[in-house]
Amino acid sequence: MKKNFLAESIFIAVLILFCLYRYFQNVESVVLKVFSPTTVAVDLNGNRQFESDEIVCISGIETFSDNLSDYNEELAKKLGVSEKDALAMAYLTKDYADFLLSNKIVRFKADEQQHGNDCINGDIFVENASYRKMLLGEGYAYSNQYEYNSAKLNERIAAAKLMTPLILNNKSKKYHQIGCKFGKVAQDYTILMKDDLPDNVVPCKWCHKNTVVETVKSPTVYPDRMTDGSVRMYLTDMTNNLKLRNDCSANICQAILSEIKNAQTSIDIAAYGWVSIPEIDDALKAAVERGVKFRMVYDFTARKSYYPNTAQIARFAATTKNDLKPGDSQMSEYLMHNKFMIFDGKKVATGSLNYSKTDFSEFNSNFIVFIDSPDVAKVYTDEFEQMLGGKFHTDKSKRTKYQSYNIGDSNIEVYFSPQDNVITDKVLGYVNNAKKYIYMPVFVITHKPLESALLKAKERGVDVKLIVDATNVYATKSSVQALRAAGVQVKVENYAGKLHSKSMIIDDEFILAGSMNFSRSGESRNDENMLIIQNPRLAVFYRDFFKYLWAKIPDIYLTRSPKAESPESIGSCFDGIDNDFDGKIDKSDEGCFIHSK
């Protein structure tokens, strides 16, 4: 009898464990707390309360911890990083983990073999994507058991080396350098970056005695390019180039110079305007001399005061055309606002980069992409030849066939204004379908239906953030105030250079970017182009660049708006440029003597 009872008890216990295992395999639960990138509290029983038996550990991977006594010294030695860099990596990884998991609905899959009693080992799935694989694929984790992205991991470590992690003693309100003996004995502490320090804290006199205490933006630089097969993306950074240059030393200028020098048969350029950079001009002349066919279309007005060399460079072209339409004053007000180059009918360089000193020297922030694809080049060539034949703006014909192009791991769609009605017919659909976030580094936003779609996205829980150039915040139709009033986080940049990108990053998957501002004129009047790029690797890279810019712009500019030429816009009163287009430069501009409102 006892034997039967014991057997039945064992059977029931096994059955219960099996049911619990199957339950954990399939149930959708809310993440209650992210203790570390690999230790997470998940509401497995659905009561919305944290209980000690609901701690999940992501098995098979190693990450850095922000625990001073156990930051994973062995991993640091294995990867050749210092304690400071390891803690900076811990900060980056925890931020990524919080972004992916905090308050998200997830599915937990337990390991068949459980080791230890402190937590349940397994993996978390966010929208059917393995969290473990995301950490490994994005360079935030190392593993001896699973494949990890070593190149991406090295990129993360390089970024961490540029950061300044500190120990904040939450009790004494003193902050310490990593390694400080007084910081290490703190019982209640937080690892954070220098730029995140609260206002009411003071430096430790022992470890900061030989240090000039000042606010330093962190990180100080971000990699400016990412290549994924035949698609190469550049993100220029206005926060690190505060002086205008007339040479071609910047990476983006060198990239375009290289394409011009390597062109064999043809170079087609659609330019809003042109400001001469000697090396670029000389390379174009040399290309023509060696038999390369150079053709060019450009905006007639060319904003003469800003693009004085447009007609000069056009003289070297075998064929050229501008968008002037005699007798039609309204059409003449529209802009040929494209900025693209086609090389040998095989490769396209396009984006928001104007062919000017401010953009070629990376003084402004821009999105530029090189696409090595004869199919995409053909689409751009067809558009170019419409304009070269005298059809601009609303005179252009719509394409009869639209398709996307699979280029390696990228899926790319190409659209043109005004014929494709791209914001209304395409962009709004992506905004309306966004699940997690919409991040927008933009020069200007005035398109009211887009504004409404962004507000609705926020209402349904999408993280909507914008960084907007200071020049356009005060425009009559600017959406900045309406978005802020509705609770959307909008930062206005406070640097001399322009945030000139016209782009969106959506849900770690899509990039929408090109020459088109998010405005009615950009959509329905001007000649523009826009790409929709589906590529998670590129999207995450751009997302991290956005977050980097966001961190470098103080939070005060979530509510304040610095004037484009003022003491608050870093470098704007000493750069020799008319940053707010009012005809006055630096100290002759009254803005340099007053602060924003």
Instruction: Give long-range contacts, CB 8 A cutoff, 24+ apart: 175-181.
Output: 175/201, 175/202, 175/203, 175/204, 176/204, 176/207, 176/208, 177/204, 177/207, 177/208, 177/211, 178/83, 178/84, 178/87, 179/83, 179/84, 179/207, 180/204, 180/206, 180/207, 181/206
Query: Is the model's pLDDT at 22 over the cut of 70?
Result: no
Give me the phi and psi of 187, to 5 degrees please.
-90, -35
Q: 232 lies in a domain? A: yes
Residues 157 and 235 occupy one common structural domain:
no
**573 vs 336, residue with greater confidence:** 336
Residues 234 and 115 occupy one common structural domain:
no
Q: What is the DSSP string of 234-259?
A: EE--TTS--S--SSS-SHHHHHHHHH
Q: 85 lies in a domain? A: yes
Residues 147 and 287 occupy one common structural domain:
no
Residues 262 and 147 occupy one common structural domain:
no
**Could you read off the pLDDT of 339-371 as tens digits, one per residue?**
999 999 999 999 999 999 999 999 999 999 999
Domain boundary residue among 161, 176, 209?
A: 161
Once rounded to an integer, what is the mean pLDDT over residues 154-174?
84
Q: In CATH, what number is assigned to the domain containing residue 516?
A: 3.30.870.10
Residues 260 and 132 occupy one common structural domain:
no
* Residue-range definition of the domain harbouring residue 151: 2-161
Token digits for 573? 């009163």
pLDDT band for position 566 (50/70/90)? confident
Q: Select, from the ranges 10-24, 124-138, 185-199, the one with the highest average predicted confidence (pLDDT).
A: 124-138
Q: In CATH, what number is assigned to the domain containing residue 61?
A: 2.40.50.90
Residues 151 and 230 occupy one common structural domain:
no
Q: 28 lies in a domain? A: yes
Strands 120-126 and 55-58: parallel
Total number of domains in the chain: 2
Mean pLDDT computed over every residue of the chain: 87
Q: Map residue 127 onto helix, strand or coil.
A: coil
Residues 392 and 296 occupy one common structural domain:
yes
Strand partners, 295: 268, 319
Residues 541 and 450 occupy one common structural domain:
yes
Residues 241 and 335 occupy one common structural domain:
yes
**Could you read off the pLDDT of 97-129 as tens digits, one per residue?**
877 787 788 898 988 878 666 788 999 998 888
Query: Is the model's pLDDT at 466 over the cut of 90?
Result: yes
Torsion, Cα 136 141 145 146, to 10 degrees, reads 0
pLDDT band for position 23 (50/70/90)? very low
**279 vs 22, residue with greater confidence:** 279
Q: 175 lies in a domain? A: no
Q: 586 lies in a domain? A: no
Query: Is the model's pLDDT at 556 over the cut of 90?
Result: no
**Could you read off the pLDDT of 423-441 as tens digits, one per residue?**
999 999 999 999 999 999 9
Q: 469 lies in a domain? A: yes
**Sheet with 174-177: strands ordered across:** 189-193, 165-169, 174-177, 202-203
Domain boundary residue among 146, 161, 176?
A: 161
Domain boundary residue among 136, 161, 186?
A: 161
**475 vs 180, residue with greater confidence:** 180
Q: What letter represents residue 72's amino acid?
A: N
Once rounded to an integer, what is the mean pLDDT over residues 380-387?
98
Query: Is the model's pLDDT at 384 over the cut of 90?
Result: yes
Q: 207 lies in a domain? A: no
Residues 283 and 143 occupy one common structural domain:
no
pLDDT band for position 13 (50/70/90)? low
Token digits for 337? 């606002």
Q: What angle do CA 151, 155, 161 make, to 5 degrees?
A: 140
Q: 594 lies in a domain? A: no
Count the Cβ atoms, other than its own, within 10 Å of residue 595: 11
Residues 17 and 135 occupy one common structural domain:
yes
Residues 367 and 488 occupy one common structural domain:
yes
Once rounded to an integer, what is the mean pLDDT over residues 290-298?
97
Region of poorest pLDDT, from 395-399, 403-407, 555-559: 555-559
